[in-house]
Structure 1
Amino acid sequence: MAKLTVEDLELKGKKVLMRVDFNVPLKEVDGQQEVANDNRIVAALPSIKYVLSQGGRAVLFSHLGRIKSEDDKPALSMKPVAQRLADLLGQPVTFVPAIEGPELEDSINKLEDGQVLIFENTRYADVVDGEVVKRESKNDPDLGAYWASLGDVFVNDAFGTAHRSHASNAGIAANVAQTAAGYLMEKEIKFLGGAVENPERPFVAIIGGAKVSDKITIIQNLLEKADKVIVGGGMAYTFAAAKGEKIGNSLYEEDKVELAKQLIADAGEKLVLPVDAVAADKFANDADSYVAEGDIKDGYMGLDIGPKSVELFKSVLAGAKTVVWNGPMGVFEMDNFAKGTLAIGEELVNVTENGATTIVGGGDSTAAVQQLGVADKLSHISTGGGASLEYLEGKTLPGIAAISEK
């Protein structure tokens, strides 16, 4: 997929509309809102700095949270985000507390080369005069056209919203001659898109998390594309039930057991399931626990993969050239049930060092590799939760589809 990138654009003197993903957590400090975690802002800095270095005038915009009423707006303003960006860039950032109108237009027109402006939360457009209208979230064509009119070129660097057709991505793109990917978007397309469309083999996918229903389309898509699909986490107990094993009080989806049976039958040796589990008598870190091989005792529930499963999964990963991981192997938030997830993270470092491309597909998996401190030792950590999932499902993402081909 050869998409236009920010480096393909002539930027000097241009008003560069940039959709970024600054949907960051906020915290209150001395009565003021501040950014609690700036990872997403930091991730967008390369694209912003490139635009500024080329003499572009950066007009940044993002959503922040969900706006369901007028009361939601004050706590979800982009103002603290603009302040944090200014700190990170080491230069002033103009904040405009509006999403349309003369104040915004005048401020953009006054920008000089190398200057930055952020306007207000795009989802302010979802509630107007107390009425829920979802102009942003439902891609109101007039809003997309208006925002497009504010600049000369459009750069989309917000992979986290690429699975949504919103006015601030697809709407603007429909009204400009060319849309380019920023560095962050380009990297997501390269790694996640490459893994789905043209992986170097052997290609191993690791799918975890609680429910089969959440990941069934991903599992089905990856069983067609990958050489091996490892399944762990809570969803593994639905597969265990499908094999006729006793699973005690483990989380499982009774209505998905027949589907799991069908997947096991269709996939054969391509599907790799746990062979043991760390089972506990309650959902707590101080629970009584033991390693169950096969059946789990009544009154106990599986909360992590066991040591034999770890070794099995490591043997499958050995020699892999492409690995995609989405979802933890157990309740990694509790130290006593984090060993399986952390062992997978450590093994991914090993296969990366041996030349494999390793991709972590957002969400809890990202939290796990950050907890382990190995995020910088893997090939790519995706910035998009829902977008990563839909990309792995093989879906067309509107935000990516709207980027111009080279």
Structure 2
Amino acid sequence: MMTIDKFNFAGKKAIVRVDFNVPLNEEGKITDDTRIRGALPTLKKILADGGALIIMSHMGKPKGKVNAKYSLSQIVDAVSAALGVEVKFAPDCAKASEAAAALKPGEVLLLENLRFYPEEEGKPVGIEKEDPAYEDAKKAMKASQKEFAKTLASYADCYVMDAFGTAHRKHASTAVIADYFDADHKMLGYLMEKEVKAVDNVLKDIKRPFTAIMGGSKVSTK
């Protein structure tokens, strides 16, 4: 299995799924930048190697519609400051091929919110599960989800998954996209590696009786 430490990003474009779903105040300013700081080791490794960086994330729950309240344009300055590089912005994540192609080593492009497209989550929009046409709508959505993931994959030479907060969902950018890269060109970022190792360590050496409690911000589902 390829690891981020083994891979040399020199002259390569890397598309990285991060979790930049950061809390914003009424003025659109970040109130807690923990998630941005958490992704820095992965992002900086790619740049230090001499790679170009394409960053993708979701923010909030826009439910497949464009909503300025959830635009990642609001965090461009903060990401630029954290990386020490001026970050370019692609206002449409599915129409960023020219911007991605123009990226030079050491440059960074942040894509607009992935969830402005219903294909990211892969759920049919505007139709209830009880509707007889739901199954057909679901099949159609799964097909367009693959196309969406293929578009995202086409921007880069390699894929890095570093969004632990959304790793449990089979979304276009967290799972489907991986099908478009071979085993030597896809890998986990440092944040994901750390979390996977932590879970592995706990589960490998179990002294029974044993209870595992996974935490998270959504208390209702725990």
Q: Which category of TM-score, normalised to the shorter sequence, fits these structures?
A: 0.7 to 0.9
Q: Distance in 2 between matches of 1:364 and 1:26?
A: 17
Question: In structure 1, what is the equivalent of residue 174 of structure 2?
Answer: 169
Query: CA 1:38–1:142 in 2, change beyond 3 Å: closer, same or farther?
Result: same
Q: CA deviation at 1:51?
A: 0.5
After superposition, give the CA deviation of every residue in 1:176-210 in whole Å (9 maximum; x if it has no partner): 113200000000110013212x02x5x4xxxxxxx
2:217 to 346, 359, 363: 363
- Do the aligned partners of 2:15 and 2:160 also contact (CA within 8 Å) in 1? yes
| TM score, norm. by length of structure 2 | 0.82
Matched, 1:21 2:15: no
Runs of 4+ in 1 over 4 A off after TM superposition: none
- Structure number with the bigger relative contact order (C-alpha 8 A, sep ≥ 6) is 2
**CA distance in 1 between partners of 2:94 and 2:192 (Å):** 26
Are 2:146 and 2:172, in contact at CA under 8 Å, matched by a contact in 1?
A: yes
1:111 aligned to 2:103? yes
- Equivalenced residue count is 203
Match of 2:209 among 207, 227, 231: 227
Summarize the Cα distance change of 1:73–1:227 in structure 2 as closer, same or farther, 3 Å threshold.
same
Structure 2 equivalent of residue 94 of structure 1? 88
The 5 Å alignment of 1:153-164 reads 153-164=158-169
43, 68, 74: which one aligns with 1:74: 68
Tell me which of 177, 192, 195 is aligned to 1:188: 195
Point out the structure with the larger strand share.
1
Aligned to 1:372: none
User: Partner of 2:112 in structure 1?
Assistant: 120
Structure 2 SS opposite 1:18: strand
Q: Which has the larger radius of gyration?
A: 1
Contact 2:4 2:187 in 1 (8 A): yes
Describe how 1:329-348 pairs up with structure 2 within 5 A: none
TM norm structure 1: 0.46
Conserved in 1, the CA contact under 8 Å of 2:80 and 2:86?
Answer: yes
1:287-366 equivalence runs, <5 A: 325-326=213-214, 361-363=215-217
Output one character per residue of 1:43-88: Cα deviation in whole Å (capped at 9) or x when no partner: 0000000000001101000011111364x61100011222211111
- The answer for the alignment partner of 2:79 in structure 1 is 85
Displacement of 1:99 in angstroms is: 1.2
Structure 2 alignment gaps of length 5 or more: 127-137
Percent identity between matched residues is: 35
1:112 CA drift (Å): 1.3
